[in-house]
Amino acid sequence: MPVKPGRAGVKQEMHKWKQGTLHSGSKKGPIVKSRKQAIAIALSEAGLSRKKRKRTNAHGLTSMRRGNQHMESESHAYHW
């Protein structure tokens, strides 16, 4: 059965674990008893297990708003 994406999917998988019906791998796999393993499976199934990273531009810099960039350069230029 497909799992809902995001938090709803994690909730759905954790509910299976609490009822004792969450299997590792396929339906024929052993029943999961460890809470940590259940969380790992739930995050993986819901698509939340990937690590989030800051996006960088072509120069390898993190993106900033133009207003902040302009204000920072001005404040450094007139700093005594």
Q: How confident is the model at residue 31 (pLDDT cuts 50, 70, 90)?
A: very high
- Please tell me the pTM assigned to this model: 0.55
* Containing structural domain, residue 19: 7-46
Q: Is residue 74 part of a domain?
A: no
Least confident of 13-22, 41-50, 61-70: 61-70
- Judged against a pLDDT cut of 80, whether residue 20 lies above it is answered with yes
CB 55 within 8 A of CB 62: yes
Domain count, the chain: 1
